[in-house]
Structure formats: C-alpha cells, structure tokens
Amino acid sequence: MSDPRLAVDFCGMMFQTPLVLLSGCVGFGEEYTRIEGFSNRDAGAVCLKGTTGSARPGNMPHRVCETPGGMLNAIGLQNPGVDKVISDILPKLDFEETRFIANVSGSTLEEYEEVTRKFDDSPIDAIEINISCPNVKEGGVAFGNDPEMSARVVETCRRVTNKPLITKLSPNQTDIAYNAKRCIEAGTDAFAVINTLMGMAIDIESRAPVIGNNQGGLSGPAIKPVALLKVHQVYQVAREHGIPIIGQGGVNGPEDAIEFLIAGASAVGVGTALFYDPLICNRINEGILDYLDRHGLASVEQLTGSLRLNTPAAAKCGC
C-alpha cells in the first residue's frame, strides 16, 4: 500500500508502512510471495528467520502448539547458516519492494560477532539481534535476561557493523527499561519490544508437554497487554535518545497496531496473525488510515508516544 501518511523514518530507513513482518513468521521473506494477493509492499520491512553461524536442524517435534488466545513455538532456530542465507537466499529478494532485516542469533559472543560481520558485508538493510538465546558459556542463561550480558552482545555486534542495529528485548526479565538503557549505552540504534513469553502446554492423557522442547515461546493476542506495557516502559528511556521501537506482541488488527504506536512504538510487528490471515497487513494499514482521517492527523508518526496517562486520585491514606 502506497500512502505517504503511512511512511515511517526508522533509523534512516524509509518504511512505506509502519508494519514489520516478524522473524520466524515469513521464513526468509520469500514464502508469502506465493500467496495470491500478498504484497511485501504492505509492510515497511521484513525480518528474516533467525540465522546462526552454522546450519541448525531445529528442535524435535512438536514445535508449534495452538493455545487459547495464542500460540506456543519452539522451532529451535532451524536455518541453513549465515553463508547459505547470504549466497542463496538474499539474491532472490526484491530490495526495491521493501526493507529486509537480518535476525542474528548465537550461543556465544563469538557467534554473534561472526554472523553480524558477514551480514554487514551483504545487501541486508539492517540487523536485528535476538538476545534471547542461551549463553552456553554462562550455564545456559539467556543473554537477554541479564542487562550486562545484553549490553555485551550489542557492543560485540556494534564493533563489526555500521548497519542499523535493532535489539530484540525479552519480556522474561526483571527490569526491561534498565536493560534498554544498557543496550543504548552499548550502541543499539533501535529496539524490538517484545520477544515471546515463555510458556507450556500439557497433554493430560500422556501427562507430557505438548511441545517437544517441553517449553516454548508464547505469542499472539494473549500477550498483548504485557507487550504494550513493556513498549511504554522502554519508550520512557528510548525517547530521550531518539531510539525508535518496533512494538510487537498480539497484533491482530488495526486497533492493536494503533495501541502500540500510541504506547511509544514507531513501527509495529505482525507475526502470529499471519498464520491465519496472510493478507492482514492491508486491513491493518486501511484501519490506520481511517483512524488518521477521523482524528485529523497528517501522519502515522504523529501517533508515536501520544499516550495520555491517567492521573490517579490520591489514595485515602495520603500516600
């Protein structure tokens, strides 16, 4: 969809709409082009599937499980490795149609550095750092759940690329705003807020987890209230430094996208909804334009951070 009111300047990249197709939901960007009526032009950017240094086969099945209001997944970063992505996949993508963002994952700082350096020497537009991966050298603790570990990943990647760096923040931590602050100090250019929440589903007949990996990442409408709060919290830190946010988690229609923009996002990620409505982006864009018309706004950028917080009445105790 081409309408200048939807255009967003994100880290110097012009997105033709504020929508971003999220990593893991559209493969490496070519899968949805086979669907009649789908157009990458409905999205400002496409995040490619998580990529590691070497090829990974992924986790044992089941890898995906539908839950009330959402979906659990534990794919296990199945991918052909960064060299194959660059040599075989990127040449097939139409960089004139939309922006493409690589998603870098790793188990060590050295792997993050290797993959980021290789993507730096490629036509990719930007690099998203998935810091929710476990650090095998630190007992398997996820990089993204510790602010200092998160900052070290950002610093490592920042040293080897001049492309825009987008840090994907985990909600599975104590203080996401402080983590964001450390990542800004380490050199991130933007944030994606949030990654999935950890969850489980159990088959009561076998008394075993449905997911082969026992636990997985919960996405979909069920996590939207959490995601909105996290975007608002990160925005309080990010706006001081001009750091934009991709707000994501449970976007199922235009109203959801507008909520994320008002909470502080500059762009909005669409993921789980694509599995049951591959053409949802056009509907979201049309809904945003209708909202702009009804509220007399000239640009979607005017919505970012426009939240009007309530002023709670003083408590009776005088606190």
User: 159-173 in b/e burial notation, b at 16+ Cβ within 10 A?
Assistant: ebbebbbbbbbbbbb
Please name the residues in contact with 110: beta carbons below 8 A apart, sequence gap of 6 or more. none
206 in Cβ contact with 223 (< 8 Å): no
147 in Cβ contact with 191 (< 8 Å): no
> Known catalytic residue: 25?
no
Q: Quick check: bond before 241 cis, omega within 30?
A: no
DSSP class of 173? S
Residue 167, strand partner residues: 129, 191
Q: Using CA atoms, how far apart are residues 187 and 114, in angstroms rounded to an integer?
A: 18
Tally of CB atoms within 10 A around 310: 5
The active-site residue, picked from 25, 133, 157, 281, is: 133
DSSP class of 87? I
| Cα–Cα separations (whole angstroms), residue 125 to 13, 45, 140, 161 | 8, 9, 31, 11
Active-site residues, by number, are: 133
